[in-house]
Structure 1
Amino acid sequence: MKTKNQENNKRQIIIVATTASMIEQFNMNNIKILKELGFGVHVGTNFKNPGTITNEISNGLIERLTKLGVKCHQIDFKRGVGTPSANKKAFRQLSKTVEEEDISGIHTHSPLGSIIARRVAHKLGVKILYTAHGFQFFKGGRLKDWLVYFPVEWFYGRWTDALVTINTDDYAVAKHLPIKRVYYIPGVGTDIENVERIAKEQRQKLRQEVRRNLGINNDEYLLLSVGELSERKNHATVIKAISKLNDPKIKYVIAGIGDEETNLKSLIKENRLENKVQLLGYQTDLDGLYFAADLNVFISKREGLGLGGLDGVAHGLYIIGNGNTGMKDYIQSDDIGLLVNDPTDVDEVSRTIAFAKQGKKKVTGKGLEAVREFDYRNVNRIMKSIYQKEFM
């Protein structure tokens, strides 16, 4: 007996990620590309515990996907490494979905979700494409991470048909994994062209409005970090660096939600920075924040590419990034930003902030040309060709 999917003669592809936030932030373009290519598209993720977006936004995501003709499946992935019982449950849920929906291809994201998805693909003989958003092991990273995570990726590489990497370091390392085909794309795409169309007058208007709402004076130097409140994003080091600088003109805002909120609030209070540091929560419209800020401090301990950093650069915002991550792919010169060697070194971070403040640079012409390859239109073009090679 033929299923409905078989009768429609559409090949069914499922995009898998541990959290709904990874779908919302990184995969909407991929979904649209698959739809344009004529595939039936499914999403398997944890919509109930959605990660770095709110439950309200997660519910809205389900509505948006449904309107696009995408079928949503709740998979109870845990974050981090999960637990044996939870991982088994997620494996059963995903296996059932793949079988019942006649899935012929899986595009998987996030470490834990990708391990479970590859086990499912191996068990059921389904083709699988894996996008690594930054390996847990990387040049300059901890030896412990190499000893633990590289063997895991090597083992599951045997069950991976193709791998997509989003930075050049991961692309080089991936050549040592037993994966049939390895691709490189320049990140997950940001909208450089549309940002460039925003008139200078509108940028200035947004800057003044946001700074006024935040209580930032014209002569004050505003630092911005965009990203979840987690140890990995390393906002604590920035707060400590601001305390060390003791510069009355420096203010700092963080846009994001996460498990570290209580600890960060305690750190702010401990350093008496209540009037200098603000936690803004989850922000859906970042244009004004990027234009309002003078410096993007994006010193994650580990980062595949760092979309929050790249988006800021697209808006002309100068950046401080971590030189041991994929950020160095786009922070190619001091026309764009500065790289620190140790993102947890408060002295180095504070010195770099002070140096950037002294220069008061913006990313313009030459700098924007250097990052044009990261525009989502170019990324989509490459991703479309990968889908055609792997799934058609």
Structure 2
Amino acid sequence: MAQFNHRNIEILQNLNYEVHVAANFTHYGTLSGKSNQKFIDWLYKKGVAVHDVSIRRGFGKLLDNVNALLEINKLMKQEQFSFIHVHTPIASVLGRVIALKNKVPVLYTAHGFHFSKTSNKINWIIFPIEWTLSFFTKQLIVINQEDYGFAKRHLHAKYINYQAGVGINFNLLKSATISEHIEAKKTLLEKFDIPENARIIVSVGELTTRKNHRVVIEAIKKLGRSDVHYVIAGKGYLLSYLKNLAIELDLESQVHFMNYTTAIRRLNLAADVAVLPSLREGLSRAGLESIRDGVYLLGADIRGIKDYIVNDQVGRTFNPYDSEELATLLVKTIDMKRTKLNQESVDKLMIFDRKNIDKQMRDVYKKMGTGNDNRLRNTVGR
């Protein structure tokens, strides 16, 4: 459904599948309209069947999601799919319910369970739903070690695999140079009229409570340095709040909002430090990309971030509720020079490389496409 990446589609087509993508292309979340249209155009170019369905994030969009159930049910009856691959929480619930009705095997990639050791207690209301539907899931993929351990202990999918995210091109790690860093930083300074001697902190993520940019702004206040500037790439409902917080803390000239951008590598190349302060993540791509682009990462000490901060050469973790701890880490790291990761660090990170992930996905798709003669047995898992 949603979050289907380009490489998965190409893998399926190389395996001679006819691929359909069903997602809400009308209300497309935090993507830009341009990016949404670019993806649609790419799908049509690849010969993928595109279905615009009314799935909406959150249980509050009940009517839309009831309509989506009917749309998905009609689609499954028409197309007689060999299997379906669902991703986001609401889509995974709707998809599995209708797949059970139509006896279609399901592959579910959980991009971070909403219930975790650090999540709010209210999030655990989802667990009974996930537990029940796991009986009707042929293949579950989880993308961080905490979720993998939990799934193995408590869920009942026929197969449960750990996969380290959607894959990052770590070959780019070897190509980043100091000259690229200097050039990218110069461009960023000019864009926001930042002084030449400034130190740059970047964060990539939606402007939401979960992404927790507030703690970084508060930490910068504690630094007491006018030469430290913070650039946030993303859009969301907290834009006005974060702007007002910067004004309230007398940091208006030091906090800059970039809106949604696809030029993440250029942003990371310009940075002196990247901060990923999220309160909850599945396996944040933003953090992996910052490491790949050669910037030191300070990440929240939560699942889905600490998985890839493999040692102090890559980055360090902090309590995402503690701006004092983050400020202390910034004091130690903001003036550090960029250095190449040693081979030991690179070897540890290669589990997240897209070649490794693509091989795993190819094997999973092959397995999903076999033995579907008894579709009901495959649908209900064990």
| TM-score normalised by structure 2 residue count | 0.91
Offset at 1:86?
Answer: 2.1
| Distance in 1 of aligned mates of 2:141 and 2:301 | 22
| Distance in 1 of aligned mates of 2:155 and 2:293 | 37
Which of residues 248, 270, 274 in structure 2 aligns to 1:292? 270
8 A contact 1:220–1:249 mirrored in 2? yes
8 A contact 1:254–1:278 mirrored in 2? yes
Q: Match for residue 200 of structure 2?
A: 222
Q: Match for residue 77 of structure 1?
A: 55
Q: Match for residue 316 of structure 1?
A: 294
* Identical amino acids, percent of aligned pairs: 35
Cα deviation code 1:218-276 (max 9, x no counterpart): 43211000111111111122112212322112100011112222222222222222210
Q: How many residues of Structure 1 are paired with residues of Structure 2 in the alignment? A: 368
| Distance in 2 of aligned mates of 1:120 and 1:279 | 41
Q: Match for residue 245 of structure 1?
A: 223
Q: Match for residue 165 of structure 1?
A: 142
8 A contact 1:79–1:112 mirrored in 2? yes
Q: Is 1:96 matched with 2:67?
A: no
SS class of match (1:290): helix
| Distance in 1 of aligned mates of 2:209 and 2:322 | 14
Cα deviation code 1:347-377 (max 9, x no counterpart): 2222222232254554522433321221111
Mean Cα deviation higher: 344-353 or 310-319 = 344-353
SS class of match (1:326): coil
8 A contact 1:321–1:327 mirrored in 2? yes
Which of residues 87, 104, 108 in structure 1 aligns to 2:86? 108
Cα deviation code 1:192-243 (max 9, x no counterpart): 1134235554444333333333333443211000111111111122112212
Offset at 1:98?
Answer: 1.8
Q: Is 1:370 matched with 2:363?
A: no
Q: Match for residue 325 of structure 2?
A: 348
8 A contact 2:173–2:293 mirrored in 1? yes
- Listed as ranges, the gaps of 5+ residues in structure 2 are 371-382
| Distance in 2 of aligned mates of 1:362 and 1:182 | 38
Question: Which has the bigger relative contact order, CA under 8 A and spacing at least 6?
Answer: 2
| Distance in 1 of aligned mates of 2:133 and 2:297 | 36
Q: Is 1:142 matched with 2:120?
A: yes
Q: What is the aligned-residue RMSD (CA, Å)?
A: 1.8
Offset at 1:338?
Answer: 0.8
Mean Cα deviation higher: 224-233 or 256-265 = 256-265
Which of residues 331, 334, 345 in structure 2 aligns to 1:357? 334
Letter aligned with residue 147 of structure 2: D
Q: Match for residue 160 of structure 2?
A: 182
| Distance in 1 of aligned mates of 2:336 and 2:300 | 19
Offset at 1:151?
Answer: 1.9
Q: Match for residue 284 of structure 2?
A: 306
Query: Given the superposition, is the C-alpha separation of residues 343 and 363 from structure 1 closer, same or farther in structure 2, using an over 3 Å criterion?
Result: farther
Mean Cα deviation higher: 132-141 or 68-77 = 132-141
SS class of match (1:312): helix
| Distance in 2 of aligned mates of 1:194 and 1:245 | 32
SS class of match (1:347): helix
8 A contact 1:313–1:363 mirrored in 2? no
- Listed as ranges, the gaps of 5+ residues in structure 1 are 1-15
Cα deviation code 1:326-358 (max 9, x no counterpart): 111110111111111x31222222222223225
| TM-score normalised by structure 1 residue count | 0.89
Letter aligned with residue 324 of structure 2: D
8 A contact 1:132–1:163 mirrored in 2? yes
Return structure 1 stretches of 4+ with deviation > 6 angstroms: none
Q: Match for residue 36 of structure 1?
A: 14
| Distance in 2 of aligned mates of 1:362 and 1:145 | 40
